[in-house]
Structure 1
Amino acid sequence: MTSDSLVNSSNASLKDTCSPEAQHMSLAVILCLVYLLGLLLNGFSLWVFTCRIHKWNSGAVLQFNLALSDAIITPLTPLMAAYFAMDSNWIFGNFACQLKIAVLSIHFKGSVVFLTLISIHRYITVVHFKRPSLMKRKTFVKKLCAGIWCFLIIIGIAYGWMLPVTTEENHGQCLTIHQTTLIDAYFVLNFVTFFFWCILPLTISVFCYSRLASSISRINRNSVQGQLVKTKSLRMIGICLVIFGLCFLPLNVVRTLGVVMKKYHPERCRVLLQLETAYYACYILAGINCCLDPLIYFFGSRNFIKAFRSSLRVIGIKRTAENKIESDTLSVNRNVIFTVS
């Protein structure tokens, strides 16, 4: 082989090497803003569930667990933002990476499974309201949720253990397509996740909500109560399907494209980097799920609506009282000043 051939081969090898690239800072900023808003909304929802709703039904139990699964991701958001800000270089060590992967797994899978259970519960309580069902029993739903949390934690720990930090081109990599030694693990885990935590739940939800929509279409429109139930149910159907279609489906599709491209066409570096950026954008899009889920509580639970409105009244009364105290104090101070002078 000639020297020119060796040089060309070396250049091709370097060209085919896909080095990690820094992501735009806007990703970090938008990520923090989205999850901060999600924290505020879900924190308020958890407060309403725990402090303002005294009698829970089975639906409220599912909604509380959905809010909890949305809220647990927020403490790890600064790590992701710092990763973007530090030229896509993970510097926080292996344990922090595995913890991030575990919590991300619990968060996304928990959100999907509890959204699916809410769709099943809504379908059973509306379409089959006369039939007895375990999903209508609060005790059973509590045990079901506890079992789901145990299952999610086990899966999260397993994911974190299988996907440690690796060093690629002097960059620490955590949960990225640049981890060449883990591409087979990513490939298998991706398709397991894509089927069991995206396609299957989406299919179940579409079936339940299509039957629900068909059922509520027969509600008497002349009745004010019937029209109210129909409007709220349709809004809830729309929100749930938007969450699946807008937040979870793009993330799974782009991730699948990324791992397939990395496994079978690793030389297509520019395409891989574009898919990586698209994946992070879809990750932020998936975070919008945390901001949309509180709408489900509002449209899906009368107790939540009542507690929400009473909470606003309490806050309004407190503010009015505080303003009155402040104005009275100012009046007294002015009178004292005028008297002294």
Structure 2
Amino acid sequence: MEKPDTNASKDQDHCQLSEKYKQIYLPLTYSLIFILGLPLNGIVLWLCWRQTKPWSGATIYLVNLVVTDLLYVLTLPFLLVTYVLGDSWPFGELSCRLVRFLFYTNLYGGILLLACISVDRFLGVCHPLRSLPYRTRWHAQLGATTTWALVLLQLLPTLAFSHTDYINGKVICYDMTSPGKFDQYYAYSMVVMLSGFVFPSLVILTCHFLMIRSLTKPQETLTRTGKVARAKSIRTILLVCGLFVISFLPFHITRSFYLMVHFLSSQDCQLLTAASIAHKIWRPLVSMNSCLNPILYFLSGVNNGVRLLKKLRQNKVDEHPAGAPGRLPRALEIWVLPR
């Protein structure tokens, strides 16, 4: 929920910024995320639960990623009802703080878990033997627990910044914070962006770059099939990087621009309008990762998940001998299996 952004309400009153578009755009995007995200993440969680335990390290990271997505998706009905009521928040103070908190928990928890998955994949591809003592279930559990601890620690202040207020005859839920706390919120947001997005992004992109460099090294003994599989693995890695950048970078750029414009109390109406629209357009789009994560990382990033899909098609697979068309694609095996 974006309104009210009363951090610079005087600027908006002066410029008469129109936000009617969001009454259609935001409900549509949030409805789409809910309709897709709930069943997709639910199916992945169910399949992981059904598989033979103990879980692998990759599955542990995936389950935690799915949990963050589900927690956020379950808050979307609150926002949809609020838009139907014309930005009025009828759910009380506690739910207001919790919905805001869970949005950022999904956002930064998801990024940190993707960083953990990237490091795990990098070690498996580039250091398959030396990394065996470190790519264990215990280390994965430690990594996931540490991720949750870091995310909760850095996001606790959002519970204080977000709250309800009574404005223009109705109760509203601040998306960021009230005008009196905006300077503190601006400084806090910049720190969270660095620790929760910039640093993990560097880790993710570096790991994927090193994996591509390892896979592109000349290998004279590599067969034609192996070369094709390696090329497909490289394309998968590039897809992961591309989707990550598209999902998260525009949001953080537009959000930083939006916060900076209001922090500087700009009186430029065109600038205020551009900052407001850009932020409100990208805010729900960043949540689309809740739908992309189960598809991308279930199909191309977790070995046990791929094996589960193979098991569901067991009748068809049994009809083909090893290496025949019914076999699990070797490209996926190269990308997901420890080596």
- Give the count of matched residue pairs: 303
Instruction: Give the one of 13, 16, 21 matched to 2:14.
Output: 16
Q: What does residue range 266-285 of structure 1 map to in structure 2 within 5 Å?
A: 266-268=266-268, 271-285=271-285
Which amino acid is 2:124 matched to?
A: T
- Consecutive unaligned residues of structure 1, counting only runs of 5 or more, are 1-11, 315-341
- Provide closer, same or farther for how the CA distance between residues 170 and 181 of structure 1 changes in structure 2, counting only shifts above 3 A: farther
- Provide TM-score, normalisation by structure 1: 0.78
| 2:321 counterpart residue number | none
Could you tell me how far 1:288 is from its partner in structure 2? 1.8
| 1:216 counterpart residue number | 215
- Provide closer, same or farther for how the CA distance between residues 55 and 235 of structure 1 changes in structure 2, counting only shifts above 3 A: farther
| 1:74 counterpart residue number | 73
Could you tell me how far 1:249 is from its partner in structure 2? 1.0
Q: In 1, are the aligned partners of 2:82 and 2:88 still within 8 Å (CA)? A: yes
Q: In 2, are the aligned partners of 1:42 and 1:70 still within 8 Å (CA)? A: yes
Could you tell me how far 1:132 is from its partner in structure 2? 3.4
CA deviation string 1:188-217 (max 9, x = no partner): 122112211221111111111111001011
Q: In 1, are the aligned partners of 2:251 and 2:279 still within 8 Å (CA)? A: yes
Calculate percent identity across the aligned residue pairs. 19
The secondary structure found in structure 2 opposite 1:166 is: strand
- Consecutive unaligned residues of structure 2, counting only runs of 5 or more, are 1-9, 316-339
| 2:233 counterpart residue number | 233
| 1:257 counterpart residue number | 257
| 1:242 counterpart residue number | 242
Q: In 2, are the aligned partners of 1:35 and 1:77 still within 8 Å (CA)? A: yes
Could you tell me how far 1:32 is from its partner in structure 2? 1.1
- What is the CA–CA distance in structure 2 between the aligned matches of 1:51 and 1:173, rounded to whole Å? 42
What root-mean-square deviation, in Å, do the aligned CA atoms of Structure 1 and Structure 2 show?
A: 2.8
The answer to which of 42-51 and 297-306 deviates more is 297-306
Q: In 2, are the aligned partners of 1:236 and 1:300 still within 8 Å (CA)? A: no
- What is the CA–CA distance in structure 2 between the aligned matches of 1:21 and 1:85, rounded to whole Å? 14
Q: In 2, are the aligned partners of 1:99 and 1:160 still within 8 Å (CA)? A: yes
- Provide closer, same or farther for how the CA distance between residues 177 and 143 of structure 1 changes in structure 2, counting only shifts above 3 A: closer
Q: In 1, are the aligned partners of 2:93 and 2:164 still within 8 Å (CA)? A: yes
- Provide closer, same or farther for how the CA distance between residues 191 and 178 of structure 1 changes in structure 2, counting only shifts above 3 A: closer
The answer to which of 55-64 and 105-114 deviates more is 55-64
Which aligned segments of 4 or more residues in structure 1 are displaced greater than 6 angstroms?
A: 17-20
The answer to which of 164-173 and 66-75 deviates more is 164-173
Task: Kindly indicate whether residue 297 of structure 2 is the aligned counterpart of residue 296 of structure 1.
Answer: yes
- What is the CA–CA distance in structure 2 between the aligned matches of 1:259 and 1:227, rounded to whole Å? 47
Q: In 2, are the aligned partners of 1:173 and 1:179 still within 8 Å (CA)? A: no
Q: Which has the higher helix share?
A: 1
- Provide TM-score, normalisation by structure 2: 0.79
The secondary structure found in structure 2 opposite 1:136 is: coil
The answer to which of 217-226 and 103-112 deviates more is 217-226
- Which is greater in Rg? 1
Which amino acid is 2:281 matched to?
A: A
- Provide closer, same or farther for how the CA distance between residues 14 and 292 of structure 1 changes in structure 2, counting only shifts above 3 A: closer
Could you tell me how far 1:170 is from its partner in structure 2? 4.3
- What is the CA–CA distance in structure 1 between the aligned matches of 2:49 and 2:176, rounded to whole Å? 41
The answer to which of 247-256 and 300-309 deviates more is 300-309
